[in-house]
Amino acid sequence: VEASIPEPQREAWTKNEFSGFKNKDDFEREVVRHVETTLARSLYNCDQSAAYSASSLAFRDRLIKDWNKTQQRQTFADQKRIYYLSLEFLMGRALDNAMLNLGFKDVAKEGLAELGFQIEDIIGQEHDAALGNGGLGRLAACFLDSMATLNFSAWGYGLRYRYGIFKQEIIDGYQVEVPDYWLDFNPWEFPRHDVTVDIQFYGNVRKGENENGKTVSIWEGGETVTAVAYDVPTPGYDTPSTNNLRLWSSKAASGEFDFQKFNSGDYESSVADQQRAETISAVLYPNDNLDRGKELRVKQQYFWVAASLYDIVRRFKKSGRSWNEFPDQVAIQLNDTHPTLAIVELQRILVDVEGLEWDEAWSIFGYTNHTVLPEALEKWPVGLIEHLLPRHLQIIYDINLFFLQSVESQFPGDSDLLTRVSIIEESQPKMVRMAYLAVVGSHKVNGVAELHSDLIKTTIFKDFVTIFGEDKFTNVTNGVTPRRWLHQANPRLSELIASKVGGNEYLKDLTLLNKLELFVDDKEFRKEWAEIKYANKVRLAKYIKSTLNINVNPAALFDVQVKRIHEYKRQQLNIYGVIHRYLTLKAMGPEERKKQQPRVSIFGGKAAPGYWMAKQIIHLINNVGSVVNKDPDIGDLLKVIFLEDYNVSKAEMIIPASDLSEHISTAGTEASGTSNMKFVLNGGLIIGTCDGANIEITREIGQENIFLFGVLSEDVEDLRHAHASKEQHVIDPALTKVFEAIQGGMFGNPQDFNAMISAVRDHGDFYLVSDDFQSYIDTHSSVDEAYRNQEEWVSMCIRSVARMGFFSSDRCINEYAEGIWNIEPLAV
């Protein structure tokens, strides 16, 4: 309010209001203006990168208008807001998305052509914003798109990492990590040097009086680091709503710059202090579904949640409401346990800073669990938290005390239960169980697909269901945004679909896809459908040729597995299956070979830098490729491709080009999966296990349209036990042949793969590779069989797409809004 322009001068503002370009000529003018002024270049000096920069700036100018208005509308409406706290936002590229969401891609295309550029080249200049590892981070990005599209007052809060997920290079078949410095030119962020928060670490706690003379805990001393806000506008599709993603960057607090040191000539160490502060937001931890318990990670977490909560509370207080209205104005969603300290920090603000009484009953926080894998469940040593956040440890103890007291009164004398559910694990050293803290501190806990939501209730949170009752635990099956994952990634298919289902409306109501069923028997439509798939495959084949210098035949069946490399996702099962196929082909005579279905097996994905086994898997895939791809007996019948540096923008090219994709995790391990939805939405079929969202996909599209195999999750535990009780595990005969080939040196030094084989043969085959092997290869034979009948195959694809309406992230966000956030969209 203080900075607002007085009434009499406002006219000068309104009459000069900037309104971004509205047509092609305006757009061209804006691009030229940015090239000449913002970039200080000219038509003699404008490469594709400059054209990208100027186009982005032109779109950004338009976006800012909508964004400002959205913020004003939200402030004016003063309704409940949803705050989505996520340590990862895997946004990918912004320009293409902005063009499509604003509805100006055609204008830009023509404009750029007149200025001498092809729009695809310009889009391709953009560096991915890769502030995430995999599904969890991309889900957060899809949610931002849906929340804006559905006109919710929503904010994303995250960290502005200077280095996103590393760039993967493959050198001699091995993964090599290269830092991803992505901020050289980023037109999509706005530094808010006036929006800062000082964040405290370390220090001591004592009792003392607050401003109102009340006795409270006072946390003092230690060090302070400043959080600076960087705002990223996130446009909705076909709506003026443009929400804000606020990312915090760390820098040394101004009072911290040590002038003493500086003046005494110790300039270097004073700069070192600065750098230490900047380290907090320097790098994204590159682990997917894996917790390494690093101190800097917990520093990141507190830094981010403390800055975000300060911001949320500041905004709430500006409205002048009293604290009892806080739960009506604020819903905070915790994307996994990473932001769980927010629960503790809010309690600290209320009790220590605001002087309120301890109140447990507020429905502020919702917690989304994304995994049951024990290695991914966060735990922090009590000593570490005590040192870093002494007051927070006290509050955690208080939360635990109140909780255990209520459990004790509910279940008197059950000390085993108390030990099991305590937020503090009585181990050596003692640990804070973050998932338990999140459950206790949230009013709703959700899993991300039905099976997963059932599993958390019977495994990791079983006791909590007994204590809190069923109602606290719910399911929200994941979804994906059809704007990016169909309209943007597959423009031709999107256009063909629109022509049949009544225009682009289906992009906002994905259930309208069901109208496609009417056209399944339309020969012309099927032909166009198949042509689009073929063209997408040709594009990928060209990319493979240009990056790997391997020729693949676009008429072959493209079989794709792209995702983070993880033993539970079982890329090893896939590559063993490929080796089996290769051995089978080699054993055939030339006549029989000719009858086989040609395949291209495509892999992509990053291994966490410290995940040695995952790196071995990458190595084996590459070694198999280098043998198979140059085997003259095999030719086009089998190619094995590892695509380097899988990321969001590559996914946009790869997914539309797939005939078959692999979602083959050991049953019960993949919480949901989201690429499975993207592949089907783009007219590809799936081979998969009964796991995660595969189950619901099957239910929606029909089991005749999916290739399921493998053991069921309810049998996994018994099979693991059976393996563990045997000295040497008897492995599947076909898999044994595969192992023999590897150990005979067919794919390079067999030593390199001993650990992989040994995991199956000698260490209990935890991921049940051998148990599932025969049904996996049999199911692949059924795929080959089905693919031979192209007419029928295309019909299966069309029917599947028609039935995918459920998997829009819009449906998903509406479920959160209704079942967890209790929030309505804002009228536009």
Q: In 10 A of CB 791, how many CB atoms? A: 11
Q: How far is the CB of 289 from ligand CR1 (least distance, A)?
A: 5
Cis amide leading into 327 (omega within 30): no
Q: Distance (Å, rounded) from C-alpha 701 to C-alpha 467?
A: 37
Residues 673-687: b if buried by 16+ CB within 10 A, e if exposed: bbbbbbbbbbbbbbb
* Degrees, nearest 5: CA angle 474-447-482: 105
Q: Is 588 exposed, middle or buried (CB count within 10 Å of its CB: 0-12, 13-18, 19+)?
A: middle
Q: Rank residues 448 and 607 by Cβ distance to ligand CR1 and give the closer one.
A: 448
Amino acid at 91: M
Does residue 563 have an active-site annotation?
yes
Does residue 619 have an active-site annotation?
no
Q: What 3-state class would DSSP assign to 602?
A: strand
* Degrees, nearest 5: CA angle 85-485-600: 120
Q: Rank residues 126 and 670 by Cβ distance to ligand CR1 and give the closer one.
A: 670
Q: How far is the CB of 481 from ligand CR1 (least distance, A)?
A: 14
Amino acid at 825: P
Q: How far is the CB of 480 from ligand CR1 (least distance, A)?
A: 10
Contact 716, 768 (CB under 8 A): yes
Tokens found for residue 482? 């059809």
Q: Rank residues 506 and 807 by Cβ distance to ligand CR1 and give the closer one.
A: 807
Q: How far is the CB of 786 from ligand CR1 (least distance, A)?
A: 26
Annotated catalytic residue, options 24, 444, 563, 723: 563
Contacts of residue 524, defined as CB under 8 A and 6 or more positions apart, other chains included, come to: none
Rg (CA), the chain: 28
Helix 95-102 × helix 105-114 angle, to 10°? 120
Contacts of residue 232, defined as CB under 8 A and 6 or more positions apart, other chains included, come to: 91, 188, 189, 190, 244, 245, 246, 247
Q: Distance (Å, rounded) from C-alpha 145 to C-alpha 479?
A: 11
Q: Rank residues 370 and 799 by Cβ distance to ligand CR1 and give the closer one.
A: 370
Q: How many C-alpha atoms does 219 have within 13 Å on its Cβ side?
A: 24
Q: Rank residues 136 and 768 by Cβ distance to ligand CR1 and give the closer one.
A: 136
Q: How far is the CB of 384 from ligand CR1 (least distance, A)?
A: 20
Nearest alpha-carbon partner for 123 in 144, 97, 101: 97
Q: How far is the CB of 290 from ligand CR1 (least distance, A)?
A: 8
Q: Distance (Å, rounded) from C-alpha 791 to C-alpha 801?
A: 16
Annotated catalytic residue, options 70, 340, 481, 674: 674
Q: Distance (Å, rounded) from C-alpha 609 to C-alpha 292?
A: 12
Nearest alpha-carbon partner for 603 in 658, 667, 648: 658
Does residue 318 have an active-site annotation?
no
Contact 192, 229 (CB under 8 A): yes
Q: Distance (Å, rounded) from C-alpha 276 to C-alpha 70?
A: 37
Annotated catalytic residue, options 80, 392, 433, 564: 564
Q: Rank residues 105 and 370 by Cβ distance to ligand CR1 and give the closer one.
A: 370
- What 3 state SS string does 100-158 have? HHHCCHHHHHHHHHHCCCCHHHHHCCCCCEEECCCHHHHHHHHHHHHHHHCCCCEEEEE
Annotated catalytic residue, options 569, 580, 663, 723: 569
Q: How far is the CB of 448 from ligand CR1 (least distance, A)?
A: 4
Contacts of residue 244, defined as CB under 8 A and 6 or more positions apart, other chains included, come to: 67, 71, 155, 156, 231, 232, 233, 234
Does residue 443 have an active-site annotation?
no
Binding stretches for ligand CR1 (CB under 6 A): 135-136, 139, 288-289, 336, 370-371, 376, 448, 478, 670-674, 692
Q: Rank residues 368 and 488 by Cβ distance to ligand CR1 and give the closer one.
A: 368
Does residue 678 have an active-site annotation?
yes
Annotated catalytic residue, options 678, 723, 799, 803: 678
Q: Rank residues 706 and 731 by Cβ distance to ligand CR1 and give the closer one.
A: 706
- What 3 state SS string does 472-494 have? HEEECCCCECHHHHHHHCCHHHH
What is the per-residue DSSP string for 555-583? TSEEEEEES---GGGTHHHHHHHHHHHHH
- What 3 state SS string does 608-638 have? CCCCHHHHHHHHHHHHHHHHHCCCCCCHHHE
Does residue 73 have an active-site annotation?
no
Q: Rank residues 652 and 670 by Cβ distance to ligand CR1 and give the closer one.
A: 670
Q: Per DSSP, what are the bridge partners of residue 83?
A: 155, 332
Give the distance between the most distant pair of CA atoms in the chain.
Answer: 93
Contact 226, 197 (CB under 8 A): yes
Nearest alpha-carbon partner for 686 in 556, 779, 573: 779
What is the per-residue DSSP string for 21-53? --SHHHHHHHHHHIIIIIS---TTS--HHHHHH
Q: Rank residues 370 and 533 by Cβ distance to ligand CR1 and give the closer one.
A: 370
Nearest alpha-carbon partner for 116 in 189, 161, 54: 54
- Catalytic residues, by residue number, are 370, 563-564, 569, 674, 678
